[in-house]
Amino acid sequence: MNKTLFRFTLFLAALLATTALCASKADFLAHYKGTPYHDSRYQGGAQLIPGKVICAYYDLGGEGVAYHDSDAANHGSGDLNPADGSYLHEFRMNEGVDISFTKFKLDPAIDDNPYDKVVPPADLLYVGWTVPGEWFNVTVQVAEAAEYSADLLYTSNRGGSISLDVNGEPATGPLTIASTFDTADPLAWRQWHHWNLAPGLVRLKLPKGKSVLTVHIVSEGQMNLATFDFKKAR
Ligand SMILES: [Ca+2]
Ligand SMILES: [Ca+2]
């Protein structure tokens, strides 16, 4: 093959790959029935990248569309956190994804405890009671096509793994989550509240504009997932 023909073949291959990527995105978005989360307090629509993607603001659309959860009950909102008319206790309480929020200044300490590797913000909503096979979608709005990395704010009682899809296509493979279990903590239930940051855990390419991220619980579960802080990768 001469040089010109070789270059042309490379160009054609790249063009076909780009076209396939755009086609799969358009195809996925055309059929996707979920919509960006909004409520009386959060009206931001699609979550912005770069920026902090809040897991608890996963999409509207229900079981099988915007998420899959192992049971229809919300074990946090309206259950662990009894319905009392407050925003945090009743947050998405009729949806299957299990949600709670970080609690500070209690005795014994819950989320501001001495075993935190990183102290999270107070009253931060997070997805908990995670089980392998569960997933949730988040519609995002991406400022520019680029490779991005994200730091995950989380707790993990026994380690495990998650993965992310972009517009229905696997984008990361399994990502190992380090355990935050600490034998020094005398309180067994607090093993679910040792917060940590996994810097640069996620690395993926995103097209400009609207996309849907799917967060999968791959193994172990028992993780609390709060935020993915996306920045352009370096
Ligand atoms: Ca549930
Ligand atoms: Ca669950």
Domain positions in the chain: 1-31, 34-232
How far away, in angstroms, is 36 Cα from ligand 2 center? 20
pLDDT tens by residue, 101-158: 999 999 999 999 999 999 999 999 999 999 999 999 999 999 999 999 999 999 999 9
Two structure tokens written together for 86: 């407050």
How far away, in angstroms, is 224 Cα from ligand 1 center? 13
pLDDT tens by residue, 157-198: 999 999 999 999 999 999 999 999 999 999 999 999 999 999
How far away, in angstroms, is 136 Cα from ligand 1 center? 12
Q: What does the mean pLDDT of the chain come to?
A: 94
48 neighbors 221 (Cβ within 8 angstroms): no
How far apart CA 51 and CA 231 sit, in angstroms, is 7
Does domain 34-232 fall into CATH 2.60.120.260? yes
Nearest Cα residue to 224 out of 152, 139, 117, 123: 152
pTM: 0.91
H-run or E-run covering 4: helix 3-31
Nearest Cα residue to 20 out of 207, 202, 233: 207
Ligand 2 ion local residues (Cβ < 5 A): 69, 98, 129
Is the pLDDT at 9 greater than 80? The verdict is no
